[in-house]
Amino acid sequence: MEHPLNTEVQRVEPRLQLLGISKSYPSVVANADVDLTVMPGEIHAVLGENGAGKSTLMKMIYGVTRPDAGEIMWEGRQVQIPSPSAARRLGIGMVFQHFALFETLTVAENIALALDEKTTPAQLAPRIRAVSAQYGLPLDPDKRVHSMSVGERQRVEIVRCLLQSPRLLIMDEPTSVLTPDAVQKLFVSLRQLAAEGVSILYISHKLDEIQSLCDKATVLRAGRVSGTAVPKQETAHSLAELMIGGDLPTCSLLPRAPGEVRLAIDRLDLASSDPFGTRLQDIRLEVRAGEIVGLAGISGNGQQELLKAISGELAAPKAGSIRVLGKDAGRLDPAARRRLGLGFVPEERLGRGAVPALSLADNALLTGYLSPGAGMVKGGLLRRAAVGAFARGVIQRFKVKCGGADAAASSLSGGNLQKFIVGREVELAPKVMVLAQPTWGVDIGAAMLIRQAIIDLRDAGVAVLVVSEELDELFMMCDRIAVLAKGRLSHAVPVASTSVNQIGVWMSGEFDAPVNLGVDHVPA
């Protein structure tokens, strides 16, 4: 008697199987004999340190690169995936860690280019608004990408993918620059997608997210599968051990009295250079030697404008609106501010933090030549040996996985490039350090290394300002914390005297909501 294919049998048919997948490049083995199975409706995590081969593996599934060996099985049949368009035809969508967006185009124009269906930006706009609202990822379809923060750009990538109604959704660090509230809304949406049968491959270094969201985890180490786990049955410690092969690292922030004011922003009013940007209104902030001040807020509330005003990319209306080490710097260009002792890590790694085609040594030179202590220039001449030695020192101290100081910045994984950029600025020994999203996309071990390096700067007397959308990070490493909302800045309060919930209220712009500051505290 013939037995019909019942729904139970259909349910257990794997959506995706990787069998013995390998990929090598001239200087590195990215993946070696990787097996992976993803079921319909399963949220499957892929864990590993920076450079473990996670992104390369995902790119092979999405057709960006081709495997050297192994088989890809899609819904029970072997397939070749020669291109992203072929992947999309199968029903595979991907949200990249590094954004693939045209900066001069609008959100709707970018998404229209990425979709295989023929549609105009005007036709797409209502769908973008509806889907972005449905999934708690607000977007303006008419806004140009160059004016958007990294958090807003992340929303564009996610919404673009959701508009394709994928059967397998690959997400590479999708929450790295989203606020906690946006993350929770996204998780609700992902669980709903999984309940509807969509499979999700999820890459994240945030172990609490993995435990909360994922049904299963495959761990990669040095390109190979080192183990599998059910995250809900694991602890953060055991997951970290699987991922990094050792104990979960920590960082230590001990109380200390701050010194003199080294960075002062006084009544800064500044219109954005972009029509979709945010106007800064009466910004006042002081950062003292030997303290870390954290700046929280939702993307698009003026962070980009404030960072550009501090770095010198945007000139302030008055020279005295920004002071660095007591000197009026509001009208100085970025190079002049660096000569005063300002170090700066922008939120965009490729293009602003590093030039993709240049070597790590040459990228070190781009900011290091302004620092006399680095010894990269003498008598107007470049000292190549000193440049190379500096780059190798950063690579060694910050454990950057790469092909050496001559490796192109574009050849590094996102997390390793982030370690190099932060390390470069730290090693230049600034007197004032400003960092935007310092641990974006890096694994937990590297994040702790970066955070401790920032704390060490503070302990050496440097004035540090950290802009981050990870509240846990700010509470872990900051002495005081302020919130930027709608172009306005709250007063800065001691971290010990506030809470994540209180800062979350302030992020909505309600600065007058009460907070327990302690009897001895006087707001800055």
- pLDDT of residue 524 exceeding 50, the answer is no
Measured between alpha carbons, how far is 270 from 354 in angstroms, rounded to an integer?
A: 27
Cβ-Cβ contacts under 8 Å for 396 (sequence gap 6 or more): none
What's the pLDDT tens digit per position in 22-32? 999 877 889 99
- Report phi then psi at 189, rounded to 5: -65, -40
Q: Is the pLDDT of residue 80 over 50?
A: yes
Domain boundaries, the chain: 11-244, 251-341+430-524, 350-427
pLDDT of residue 9: 40
Mean pLDDT of all residues in 384-402: 94
Give domain 11-244's CATH number out of 3.50.50.60, 3.40.50.300, 3.90.1170.30, 3.40.50.150: 3.40.50.300
Taking 70 as the threshold, does the pLDDT of residue 10 lie above it?
no
The string of pLDDT tens digits covering residues 83-140 is: 999 999 999 999 877 677 888 899 999 999 888 788 899 999 999 999 888 877 788 9
DSSP-assigned letters across all residues of 117-162? S---HHHHHHHHHHHHHHTT----TTSBGGGS-HHHHHHHHHHHHH
150-159, 474-483, 513-522: which range is least confident on average? 513-522
Q: Where are the extended beta strands (E) located within 179-290?
A: 199-203, 216-221, 224-229, 261-270, 280-288
Question: Higher pLDDT residue, 150 or 325?
Answer: 325
Phi, psi dihedral angles at 491 (to 5 degrees): -70, 155
- Please determine, for residue 279, whether its predicted confidence score (pLDDT) is greater than 90: yes
Can you tell me the mean pLDDT for 54-65?
93
**DSSP secondary structure code for residue 306 in this structure:** H
482 with 490: CB under 8 angstroms? Answer: yes
436: pLDDT strictly greater than 80: yes
Q: What is the C-alpha separation between 6 and 466, in angstroms, rounded?
A: 56
Q: What is the mean pLDDT of residues 211-234?
A: 92
The 3-state secondary structure of 358-373 reads CEHHHHHHHHHCCCHH
In 126-272 the beta strands, taken as DSSP E runs, fall at 168-172, 199-203, 216-221, 224-229, 261-270
Instruction: Compute CA distances 247 → 217, 237, 239, 242, 253, whole Å.
Output: 19, 7, 10, 9, 19
- Across the chain, what does the average pLDDT equal? 88
Return the higher-pLDDT residue of 456 and 55: 456
Amino acid at 1: M
CATH 2.60.40.1120 fits 251-341+430-524, yes or no: no
Same fold, 11-244 and 251-341+430-524: yes
Name residue 351's amino acid.
Answer: G
Mean pLDDT of 248-277: 89
| Residue 197 pLDDT | 92
pLDDT at 341 over 90: yes
Give the rounded percent of residues in the chain with a pLDDT score beyond 70: 94
Q: How confident is the model at residue 280 (pLDDT cuts 50, 70, 90)?
A: very high
Contact 383, 376 (CB under 8 A): yes
Report which of 477, 438, 425, 430 is spatially closest to residue 293, judged by C-alpha positions. 477
What is the SS3 assignment for 501?
A: helix
179 Cβ partners below 8 Å, 6+ apart?
A: 151, 298, 299, 469, 471, 507
